Amino acid sequence: MRLVNPGKGLSVWLPVRPDLTCRSAVMNKLLLGALGLALLTPSLASCQVAASPVRKKGTIYKEDVDTLIDVLTDHSKSNRLPALGGDSVVATAKILAAMAKCHRRYYYPGDVPAVSRSVEFLISQRKQDSSFGDADATAWVVQALTLLPLDATQFGAEVDSARAWLGKNSQQVASFDQRVTSVLEQVRADVFPQQLGAAAVAKGKAWVASPTSLIYGEAADGLVQLVACQVANKALDKSSGGAQDPAAAVAAAAWSPVQAKALAWLLRQQQEGVFAVTMGGKTFPDPALTGFGLLALQCKPKALRTAEEQATIEKGLRWLLAGQNEDGTFGQQVPNYTTCVVVGALHRWGDPSALPALQKAQRAILGFQNSENGGYQKGDRDYGSIGYGNSQRGDLSNLHFSLQALRETGLTTDHEAFQKALTFLQRTQNLKSVNDFQGKVPDLDNEGVVLDATSGDDGGASYYPGNSNAGYIVQPDGKSVPRSYGSMTYALLKSYMLAGVPGDDVRVQAAAKWIQENWTLAVNPGTDPAMGEKVKYQGLYYYYMVLAQALDAAKVTTVKVPVAKAPSDDAKAVAKTVDIDWKKALRAHIESLQQADGTWVNSKNDRWMEGLPLLCTCYAMTALELCK
């Protein structure tokens, strides 16, 4: 298949088959390895959907804004204070900025005397260095003088010099626009701007009842919040065409009834955002399953989540944060794998409180890479790989998760870890021009059998150098070529993208050609037919997930798949192809496989724990999100 509209100049013929390849024993450890954790006996949370409130359209908080401005005006006048914010520069500037953006649109000069007095007070506070105090105060003064409708010649020099001062003393300072953005980020399916100014309204009413209790700093922040809610609500009116649903049309279109049904089931499997595993009749919280579960829950667009759903997600994420080990890992078993999954959930959250944990996790993942620090040399088979953790050998499945986690924690592609990873990636690819591996490897599916491995040349990928879960092709000289198969070939393509390999690179082109020649959604392709029908379905939902991740990372929209020639076709005729909209095809296929209760499960092969509805449902949800 040819990659159409690919990123980084990617113009390749793709063979398609991603799959999640985790060893059965290790996945059992992962999912049942919560032994050292506190016992959790969850009573499954019921997912009761209450009637959602309706968003008010138009201008909100009119009376509350007017009342608060009146209180500020009366207080400053009766106490003969120079400005609406008393003698506070930052409070005065915030109040003026809010007044300029509120429904009354106050201006200077010629508007109410309180505005004129306040502007003149700010100008009088200008320092010799052109600032108005610290960075926060100076930034707010610049905003106030910019937002108030002014004659272009008024205070232009003061604003320009203050901006120059801020440029030299750049710091993170708040702004009115950021307050509006903050309001919009809190909007949910049942939370609207009309509710997000409640605290400011309550304080305003208290100050009306007792004017002497007014605190300028709090009053200024309250007024900014109320006006930010006004501005945010107007933005929602515009983006939704006046509809009551505040979510943008694109977000709504990306969330289907199939996904909603799966999410409702997932919510019933957790307690306080934590997902558990049962072993020996006891139920324990599991960080890996919780990470996957929270990733799946976060597939619902943020603007469409209810406040209860968001609270559940955040409780689970904070539980994960609290459980981080001293060395930066998460969980007690298969530490690298678990850590990478948790990193994905925390990164998706985007909360600043997670940044220190993500940096610690990055150092831990780097420490798991098989490199010189662990005594490896470039000629060693496992050089550059990452496995489940500790001293375990590396594999392509763990490596693509690890590279994604490293990118999500801020590591750039010029870091040496990605260059070392490329050495291992090449050794998993059946491409003789780049794969230098030859040697003896154990056949993990046949005890006591040692394979004399060498590379093939079809461009696809196997689990690790010399080893394949799809079987082997034995050559006339007795050497074994590990068969390329879908999930690992997609994992390879995804890894090349994460490592910054350009689309026209021979390695990417070869992987793409294999995908094109093996495109299917019916099975995880590439398996030796002699292994039986059941083997075709191993890791099927993992395959769907990695397929979506790889093609999305490569910015592929359409796959050109060759059409088989009829016996009567001219042998010299140009091969025919059909364009496959992979997102549309994958979405329709996954939706067709959903169970009545909203879950997915691999009923044809439960290897690698795909007999667990929770795991398959998380894989399916992750894939569906990328099929927008």
Residues with Cβ < 8 Å from 156, sequence gap 6 or more? none
With a cut of 70, say whether residue 241 has pLDDT above it.
Answer: no
Report d(CA 13, CA 518) in Å as an integer. 11
DSSP string, 212-265: GG--HHHHHHHHHHHHHHHHHHHHHHHHTTT-S--S-HHHHHT--HHHHHHHHH
pLDDT above 50 (res 49): no
Q: Are residues 462 and 360 in the same domain?
A: yes
Residue 574 has pLDDT above 90, yes or no: no
- Over range 454-476, report the average pLDDT: 93
Global pTM exceeds 0.85: no
Whole-number Å distance between alpha carbons of 580 and 560? 6
| Greatest CA separation for the chain | 101
Between 433 and 392, the more confident residue is: 433
Residues 98 and 193 reside in one and the same domain: yes
Give the pLDDT of residue 26. Answer: 41
What was the pLDDT predicted at 568?
Answer: 60
Q: What's the confidence (pLDDT) of residue 579?
A: 87
Residue 557 lies in a domain: yes
49 to 52, 452, 584, 614: CA distances (angstroms): 8, 59, 30, 22
Same domain, 410 and 508: yes
In a domain, 578, yes or no: yes
- 342 & 465 share domain: yes
Rounded Cα distance, 278 and 31, in Å:
9
DSSP-based three-state secondary structure for 271: strand
Structure confidence at residue 72 (pLDDT): 92
What pLDDT score was predicted for residue 171? 59
Rounded Cα distance between 196 and 61, Å, is 11
Burial of 338 (0-12, 13-18, 19+ CB in 10 A): buried
Q: What is the mean pLDDT of residues 274-298?
A: 90
Q: For residue 550, what pLDDT band results from cuts at 50, 70 and 90?
A: very high
Q: What is the pLDDT of residue 570?
A: 62
In a domain, 82, yes or no: yes
Say yes or no: 205 and 152 in one domain.
Answer: yes
310-313 long-range CB contacts below 8 Å, 24 or more apart?
310/188, 312/45, 312/267, 312/270, 312/272, 312/273, 313/273, 313/349
The residue ranges of DSSP E strands in 418-488, in sequence order, are: 439-442, 450-453, 472-474, 480-482
* Domain end point (choices 192, 210, 239): 239
**Residue 210, domain member (yes or no):** yes
Average pLDDT over residues 371-375: 90
Give the 3-state secondary structure of residue 301. coil
Instruction: State the pLDDT confidence band at 27, using cuts at 50, 70 and 90.
Output: very low
Are 446 and 318 members of one domain? yes
**pLDDT score, position 529:** 92
Does position 403 have pLDDT exceeding 90, yes or no? yes
Residue 572 has a pLDDT of 61
Last residue of a domain, one of 175, 205, 239: 239
**Which range is least confidently modeled, 40-49, 244-253, 425-434, 483-492?**
40-49
Nearest CA among 3, 1, 30 for reference residue 503? 3
| 245 assigned to some structural domain | no
Lowest mean pLDDT among 234-248, 369-383, 390-404, 449-463: 234-248
Q: What amino acid occupies position 70? A: D
Are 228 and 301 within one domain?
Answer: no
Residue 567 — pLDDT band, cuts 50, 70, 90?
low
- How far apart CA 17 and CA 413 sit, in angstroms, is 25
Dihedral of alpha carbons 63, 64, 67, 68, sign: negative
74: containing domain: 62-239
- Per-residue confidence band for 17, with pLDDT thresholds at 50, 70 and 90: very low
Query: Which pLDDT does position 305 carry in this prediction?
Result: 86
What mean pLDDT do residues 417-436 have? 96
Is 503 a domain residue? Answer: yes
pLDDT at 42 over 70: no
- Same domain, residue pair 66 and 27: no
d(CA 294, CA 267): 10
Average pLDDT over residues 562-590: 79
Lowest mean pLDDT among 105-109, 467-471, 491-495: 105-109
Query: CA 228 to CA 220: how far, in whole Å?
Result: 12
Closest CA to 24 of 624, 606, 494, 560: 606
Q: Are residues 530 and 435 in the same domain?
A: yes
Domain boundary among 183, 208, 239: 239
Greater confidence, 55 or 238? 55
> Pick the residue with more confidence: 246 or 578?
578
Q: Which residue has the higher pLDDT, 500 or 277?
A: 500
* pLDDT bucket at 240, cuts 50 / 70 / 90: low
Better-predicted residue by pLDDT, 62 or 156: 62
pLDDT at 445: 75
Higher pLDDT: 620 or 575? It is: 620
Question: Pick from 162, 152, 107: which is nearest to 129 by CA?
Answer: 162
Determine the Cα–Cα distance for residues 578 and 598; give it in Å rounded to an integer: 32
Place 546 in a pLDDT band, splitting at 50, 70 and 90: very high
For residue 440, the cross-strand partners are: 452
- The confidence band for 5, taking pLDDT boundaries of 50, 70 and 90, is very low
Residue with more model confidence, 151 or 444:
444
Q: What is the pLDDT of residues 579-615, one digit of tens each?
A: 899 999 999 999 999 999 999 999 999 999 999 999 9
Q: What is the pLDDT of residue 252?
A: 53
Q: How does 15-52 read in b/e, with b if 16+ C-beta sit within 10 Å?
A: bbbbbbbbbeebbebbbbbbeebeebeeeeeeeeeeee
Q: What is the CATH number of the domain that holds 37?
A: 1.50.10.20
Counting residues of the chain whose pLDDT is more than 90, the rounded percentage is: 61
pLDDT at 519 over 60: yes
Span 182-227, pLDDT tens digits? 888 788 777 889 999 999 999 999 998 998 899 999 999 999 999 9
387 plus 467 within the same structural domain: yes
pLDDT value of residue 304: 84
Reference 197, options 68, 295, 94; nearest CA is: 68
Does a structural domain hold residue 296? yes
Per residue in 67-103, pLDDT (tens digit) is 999 999 988 888 888 899 888 999 999 999 999 999 9
User: With bands split at pLDDT 50, 70 and 90, how would you rate the model's confidence at 483?
Assistant: very high
**CB count in 10 Å sphere of residue 235:** 17
Q: Mean pLDDT check: name the lowest of 26-35, 59-68, 332-341.
A: 26-35
DSSP H helices in 240-334: 249-253, 257-268, 287-297, 307-322
DSSP 8-state secondary structure symbol assigned to residue 375:
T
Confirm if 304 and 188 have CB atoms less than 8 A apart. Answer: yes
Q: What is the residue-averaged pLDDT of the chain? A: 85
Q: Mean pLDDT throughout 118-142?
A: 93
Supply the pLDDT for residue 615: 95
- Cβ contact 494:553 at 8 Å: yes
Could you tell me if 271 and 208 lie in one domain? no
What domain count does the chain have? 2
Residue 617 lies in a domain: yes
* 181 and 34 assigned to the same domain: no
